[in-house]
A and B are shown apart, each in its own frame.
Chain A
Amino acid sequence: MSDHEYTPKSKAGKWFNDRLPLLTLANHLTDYPTPKNLNYWWTFGGILTFCLITQIVTGLTLAMHYIAHADMAFESVEHIMRDVNYGWLIRYIHANGASMFFLAVYIHIFRSLFYGSYKAPREIIWIIGIIIYLLMMAAAFMGYVLPWGQMSFWGATVITNLFSAIPLVGEGIVTWLWGGYSVDNPTLTRFFTLHYLIPFLILGLVVLHIWALHVPGNNNPVGIDVKKPSKDTVPFHPYIVIKDTFALLMFMIVFAFFVFYTPNILGHADNYIEADPLVTPAHIVPEWYLLPFYAILRSVPDKLLGVIAMLSAILILAALPWLDTSKIRSAVFRPLYKQFYWILVADVLILGYVGAMPAEGLYLLVARVATAYYFLHFLVILPVLGLKEKTLPIPLSITEPILGGTANLATARNKESSIK
């Protein structure tokens, strides 16, 4: 946070700011000191904000034409695609936007894992992030139900049935969620309501996420605490704004490629068949971004334990700041952790792959090994590694290694002051 007091230049500005300090906030956001070594992995926060706004804007416009009723939903989506002016474009942006949102959030999460951004003093930022991620999954799942295609219907059936695994009250909860004895019109209307609500909850949490971020400031690739403001930082505007904008443009090229060239590749053809409660599609798979967790669910032969394993796989992330016992944040200075990090990345990708395949034979075996490794990483490897690993020496400042720094604190400080 910038420490200096801000006073607007104009008299009117000062009058307004004394009554509602919005200009102080704007000044804080512009001047916000940011570590000067942030790389492009740090641009995904801005990209994610863009994704959220895109989903809200396209969602609002779709809601003007969509009809949340079991008899009309499917047709109204086709109506959007064929009749509504640019309806196809808005819907394709919204549908692919969900995938882009998850693509960005996974990069964002794995960035944190690599550079230890979840560690003290940033635990609250991290936990808010996990809650946002959970809400994103809920919103994406309910949004997928709205077109009322075969995958919508059976995806909704399978996912809501997860709750029936809860002993005693499970069946009651599922009936309550459905508003009937199966997924039907009452289910659709409430999913629409919640799908509309959740993005605004996410928006609120994003504000808290950024607020919590601005208390300690950004982590950085070196992972050390940075004095703010100092010559290790640059003001957010224009430096980070420009960098974020450039990254966003690159991201939008990928986004546009999907929207304009392969708008349906990430979806499932069965969802262009209207929901039929009598026929289950031969091969039900969730959207790609949920596949790793789906693989974990299927790799456990017991229904209740499978559901518990799947939920734990997500919730274990919230405990990460305490499971990782290492004092060093960045993997750059943790040679062993760096290797385990890439094994985890591979493990999650493998889970995603087997999640899309039938749960039998070799696929099932691989899913089981990968599931076991996933939990092993968080519950055993991380706690032990933090205590045993021999880490590399970390620099005293971001500038130090570049200027041929020394491990001696006193000379480094002298050098720092002489540069000033």
Chain B
Amino acid sequence: MSEKKTNRRDFLFTATYAVGAVGVGATVWPMIDQMNPDASVKALASTEVDVSSLTPGRTITVLWRGKPVFIRRRTEDEIADARSVKLDDLKDPEKDEDRAKNPEWLVMLGVCTHLGCVPLNDKGDYNGWFCPCHGSHYDTSGRIRKGPAPTNMEVPKYEFVNANTIKIG
């Protein structure tokens, strides 16, 4: 056998495989995508919270998109604590100023970035949060300080609609 020449039949095979692959892909994609969040889940994208009853040093937990959101009205000490930390000491360096635009209010997802448990308030070595599942310690800015979690607790998109109402999402 000498070297094989590309003939008409090879071309037809390749073209058939290519068209077949596109067809299979187009058929499989809806089957995969149906598992993504549906329209009704996406519709619950934002929630408004009345925070007028919150005194300094208190936290409330609200549900947003099925996830807990911590809203903490921080005390002067906590703010000072959070702002005095050197960025070099942080595993996931982030300034408190960037996390809490209004220093008195800390709004973040109450979801440990390790494996998704809900950390406990006013616990842990840094007086912030402590995750009971695998022992991650967060500071008063919700930043990871010790333990297996890789990043700080996430700050969602939020805004003050008025002095007493926060809109999350």
Contacts and interface: CB of A to CB of B under 8 A. Distances in A.
Given A161-B116, A176-B36, A181 B135 contact: no
B18 interface: no
Contact of A182 (B66, B119, B134, B135): B66
Nearest to B68: A278
A279 interface: yes
Interface string A264-301: 00000000000001111111100000000000001001
A180 interface: yes
Nearest to B147: A301
A161 B117 CA distance: 10
A299 B66 CA distance: 30
9 contacts: A177-B35, A179-B36, A179-B38, A181-B66, A181-B67, A190-B35, A279-B118, A280-B132, A280-B133
Given A154-B117, A301-B148, A180 B65 contact: yes
Contacts of A181: 37, 41, 65-67
Contacts of A360: 135
Given A175-B37, A301-B148, A302-B148, A283 B115 contact: no
A157 B116 contact: yes
A179 B115 CA distance: 17
Given A181-B41, A359-B134, A359-B135, A303 B114 contact: yes
Contacts of B66: 180-184, 277
A278 B61 contact: yes
A279 B121 CA distance: 11
A178 B132 CA distance: 23
Contacts of B119: 280
Given A154-B117, A161-B116, A180 B37 contact: yes
B85 interface: no
Contacts of B131: 280
A162 interface: yes
A278 B118 contact: yes
B4 to A, nearest CB: 35
Size class of the contact patch on chain B:
20 to 34
Interface of A: 154, 157-158, 160-162, 164, 175-184, 186, 190, 277-284, 298, 301-304, 306, 358-360
Contacts of B132: 280-284
A217 B27 CA distance: 43
Nearest to B131: A280
A175 B33 CA distance: 11
A277 B148 contact: no
Interface string B114-150: 1111110000000000011111000000000000111
Interface string B57-73: 00001010111100000
The 7 A-B residue pairs with the shortest CB-CB distance in the complex, in nearest-first order: A182-B66, A181-B65, A161-B116, A161-B115, A280-B117, A158-B115, A280-B118
Contacts of A282: 132
Given A182-B67, A278-B61, A176 B35 contact: yes
A303 B135 contact: no
A164 B115 CA distance: 8
A303 B133 contact: no
Nearest to A184: B66
Contacts of B149: 303
A283 B133 CA distance: 6
A190 B34 CA distance: 11
Contacts of B38: 179, 186
A162 B37 CA distance: 19
